[in-house]
Chains A and B, each alone.
Chain A
Amino acid sequence: MFLKMIKNDFSRKKIITLTVFVFITMAVLLGASATNIVANLVQSMSELQKHAVPADITQMHAGEYNQGEIDQFTEKHREHIEMQETMFLLTLDGRNIHFGNNQTMAGTVQDISFVVQNKKFDFILDLNNEKLDVKEGFVAVPIYFMEQYDLNVGDTIRVKSGEYEKLFVISDYARDFEMNSSLTSSKRFVINQKDYNEMLATEAGELEYLIEFKLHENGDAQAVQTAYIEAGLPANGPTVGGKIFLLFNAMSDAAVGMVIILISILLIIIASLCIRLTFLATMEEDLREIGVMKAIGLSRKDIKNVYLNKYRIMSVAAGIIGYLFSFVLVNLFNGNMRLYLSSDLSGNLKYLLSLLAPLFVYFMIVMYTRKILKRIDKISAVEALRSDILKHEKSRKYSFPLLKNKFLPVHIYMGFRDVGKRSKLYMLLFLIYVVCTFIIILPLNMYNTMNSPEFSTYMGIGKSDMRIDLRRTDTITEDFKKLQEELINDSEIEKYAAYITSSYKVKNAEGSWDYMNIETGDFSVFPLHYLEGRAPVGEGEIALSYANASKDGLNKKVGKEVIVEVGGTEKSLTVSGIYQDITNGGKTAKAHPSLGINEEAILWYIVSLDVAGGADIREKMGYYQNTYDSAQVNDIEEYTKQTLGNIIAVIIAVLITALFLKMLLSKDMSQIAIIKSLGLTSQNVKHQYMAGTLLVLVFGIIFGVLASNYLGEFLVSMAMSTMGAAKIELVSIAWQTWLLCPIALMLVVGYTVSVCCKVTETDDLSVVLRS
């Protein structure tokens, strides 16, 4: 009996039911995928941790070192410390490591060191989570570099530093619990003890120490750290707690999970709105139905159950489908985790944890339905006291009288006033349009921001027509000279400036030396927007990127001194300004040419130029690209404009509009028939509904655009700040946000309305009007 009624209800509201179902299923699918990712993350992390046995406290140190002192300290604090081991790091600069076709790892923001596998703990693993055991002549390369430089097992790398030169064959990926993440700025290459000894003997790199402690289960890390400092033991570098590695490792996958969960929540909201819409739109019809059910002797509770069961059945079906398919979907997101954390993601926690998503969605939907049903309950209870409703209505003022309308055709006005009269119903549509606009505009703004000339400012590049990059090759220096000569003689070039980036040693906040890429040249030609201060145009001046100037970097303000080593001598530079840069890890600097160039450490040359009026930029680009092998010539790149967000938004807009109108039209069937009997055409009726819908759409677009401009900018700024930008101002191109997108949406929605209205054109008008 119940089942038959539910089936009846399903078939009466096919489209709406299907749509609600799709949204619920999607919400479950994404929610389950996200929890699946989290489960995999938790399990593979704990698995990795079990095999790698990371240190609880790691003290970095460079300089004098005495193992005896450390041993003494360890014995003294045995109640906390289980094991101690010191790892010896031979640190090398990226340019000492050659691979592939004349390439080097120069310019990497990572500190590179060569190590031998530990004996007691903090093991570096292979992709099977086995302890690495590297043979002579072989090397295990950190996953980060394998990915970054597209290396494979079996490839070779050549280490060339001073007198030392040796070819290593890559035997393994190095999965390094402590330093896997791109957020940790050091990476460890694992080699054999014999190779290491040889490297050490020829002083191929600088020696650093990782003084590592593994504590007992109840060991107090804080106590050990304090005691360590008080004992005056070697501490010429930062101390790192064990927890931070966990965090870094989880970060990128957790972020993916978070984004998916957010989308899933958005879908649950849309599904709820749809359910509410169903109830609001079909209420009258349902009330009649409820009357019938009462007549055949069903109690109120039974009646409620009919509706509740419908959504129960839907949620259960959606839950099962979403849950099962999440295991397929999740594979799209697991690549990163497979590589960095665990190749084997067969842990079974995910089966349990992803059950949370369907359960959560089920309870949300059922709870929401219950809440709505309560409202229906109230109405049907009051219905008997119809006069109460009438009294209530009497007190309400009559709004939008027809004579108020001065300019619009009356049917258009009727469409508009309907929005005011049934604001609750239209509010849902409005919210959905806001979401759709947001989904369209935000990616559009981001795309425009990235393509705008101003965006170069975030990348630490002054505005120019064109930019030629000369990347490291054997002929780079000659190319650069030739290019400059040619540019001087090219009458079609209005102005140009050449910049050289090389690697320098810079004294960091702790007083030790870091490598930093500094660009030198004339920075007055193509001015850059400085957050603080100005360009380094005077002798002995340097400008720092935001990330470099911040606390995590050199911690320098404008006017402070920075010590840089050039050609073996130390030079003191004054910070003239701070700018935003999200390239190269956000840590860059620009200096006046008086700094001088580290000849052997040149990374790349850049020439920025403006083309004289009338000359063809494209042609110029083609010419320089072809003439110089090492050149990479860019103007504002043309990406494909189509983003996934647009499509999803348009589909949601069409679907919901169709749904909304279908329900509105069937609800208004008799009113439409009356209007037609009075002498309005189907065309008039269509325009009436179009007017109302488009009015709502216009407001939806306005709010959606504002939301993406302000809220979106805030979100993007937050995301970008992790990359080293202080504040991103989204570029919104007015004709796109206020003209193109609205027109596109209006056309789509308008078309949907007109298609939906077609259905109402039945031949015989009287059917609805007879009693």
Chain B
Amino acid sequence: MSNILVARNINKKVPLGKDNELHILKNVNLEIEEGEFISVMGPSGSGKSTLLYNISSMDRITSGSVEFKGSEISKRNEEELAKMRLKNMGFIFQDINLLKNLSVIDNMMFPALVSKDADKNAVNQKARKLLEMTGIEKLADNNITQGSGGQLQRVGICRALINDPDIIFGDEPTGALDSKATEEIMSILADVNQNGTTVMLVTHDAKVAAKTERILLMKDGNLVAEKKLGKYTAKHDDIKEREESLMKWLVEKGF
């Protein structure tokens, strides 16, 4: 399997006051394989989110290089990056970040309707199918204020999936959800991954991370360790076992 994303020696510094700066990412190296389900854990403030946004072109790295599908992207201009986000990437956030004035289904279809030659009927059908898959078809024409956190996060996932991305980035997508909703979201993401989409999550929830294939540990701007658990399938794997082994590893690494 080839790598979908390779980050080499990336640094991120942000100005802090007049002649001070904060060094958040320190020479981070990371490779993500195509089809992988990966998660990043670490104490809060260690730079997990920053890593996610910097390798996904949302933010600009200070130095280093990021290759996406075999080509360097960190030097691309805004327009090219936007196009890449539109076609190849999907994002889900803790805050979900839906557009206020659009209905549920319009929020989902929006990224698909951006390209000029979009077939509106096809987009609509695809959106309905996604709604069905995530079990929120009843919400389709609702306002986005009329839904629980779990339901809305499913809308967020549907939106991320609408353009068939190669990779989905999630910054603590379950951070604000209860355990039941978290489980539902994780099972949807597992399905998505099963269908071939690479998924990278940032989380501080070991239960979430236990369902991912590979776990990276971040500390103070560095990736300090990683743990491979392999693909999780509810049928064959015992989740308790995975959680315990992960917890043990985390304690071992001082988290």
Contact = CB atoms under 8 A, between A and B. Distances in A.
A227 interface: no
A12 interface: no
Interface string A676-701: 11111111100000000000000000
Contacts of A390: 145-146
Given A403-B120, A411-B114, A770-B49, A763 B59 contact: yes
B91 interface: yes
Interface string A414-430: 00011001000000000
Given A764-B58, A764-B59, A771-B94, A679 B106 contact: no
A765 interface: yes
A559 B81 CA distance: 85
Identify whether the interface residues of B are mostly helix, strand, loop, or mixed: mixed
Contacts of A764: 14, 53, 58-60
Given A398-B103, A401-B103, A676 B82 contact: yes
Contact of A402 (B49, B93, B110, B146): B110
B85 A678 contact: yes
Among B82, B89, B159, B175, the most chain A Cβ lie within 10 Å of the Cβ of: B82
Interface string B80-93: 00111111010101
B175 A771 contact: yes
Identify whether the interface residues of A are mostly helix, strand, loop, or mixed: helix
Interface in B103-120: 103, 106, 109-111, 113-114, 116, 120
Contacts of B93: 769-771
Contacts of B109: 402-403
B100 interface: yes
Contacts of B59: 763-766
A674 interface: yes
A683 B79 contact: yes
B180 to A, nearest CB: 21
A713 B126 CA distance: 57
A670 interface: yes
Interface in A374-428: 390, 393-394, 398, 401-403, 409-411, 417-418, 421
A675 interface: yes
Interface residues of B, number: 45
B103 A766 contact: no
Contact of B82 (A410, A421, A673, A681): A681
A318 to B, nearest CB: 35
A678 B103 contact: no
Contact of A677 (B14, B49, B97, B172): B97
Contacts of A409: 114, 116
Nearest to B14: A764
A671 interface: yes
Given A766-B59, A770-B49, A770-B171, A680 B78 contact: no
A670 B14 CA distance: 20
A267 B98 CA distance: 40
Interface residues of A, number: 35
A393 B85 contact: no
Contact of B143 (A394, A673, A682, A765): A394
A632 to B, nearest CB: 64
Contacts of A676: 82
A391 to B, nearest CB: 10
Given A403-B124, A763-B60, A766-B49, A682 B146 contact: no
Contacts of B224: none
Interface string A645-684: 0000000000000000000000000110111111111111
B145 A678 contact: no
B240 to A, nearest CB: 30
B60 A402 contact: no
A382 to B, nearest CB: 14
A670 B49 CA distance: 17
Among A402, A673, A770, A771, the most chain B Cβ lie within 10 Å of the Cβ of: A402
Interface in A232-285: none
B143 A679 contact: no
Interface in A123-154: none
Contact of A681 (B78, B91, B95, B171): B78
B141 interface: yes
Nearest to A761: B78
Contacts of B120: 403
B59 to A, nearest CB: 4
Contacts of A417: 101
Contacts of B124: 403
Contacts of B143: 393-394, 398
Nearest to A768: B97
B16 to A, nearest CB: 14
Among A401, A403, A679, A763, the most chain B Cβ lie within 10 Å of the Cβ of: A679
Contacts of B94: 770-771
Interface string B191-216: 00000000000000000000000000
| The 9 nearest A-B residue pairs measured at CB | A679-B86, A766-B53, A679-B85, A764-B59, A410-B113, A402-B106, A681-B82, A771-B94, A765-B58
22 contacts: A390-B145, A398-B141, A398-B143, A402-B109, A409-B114, A410-B113, A411-B114, A418-B101, A675-B99, A677-B97, A678-B86, A678-B111, A678-B114, A679-B85, A763-B60, A764-B60, A765-B58, A766-B49, A766-B50, A769-B97, A770-B95, A771-B172
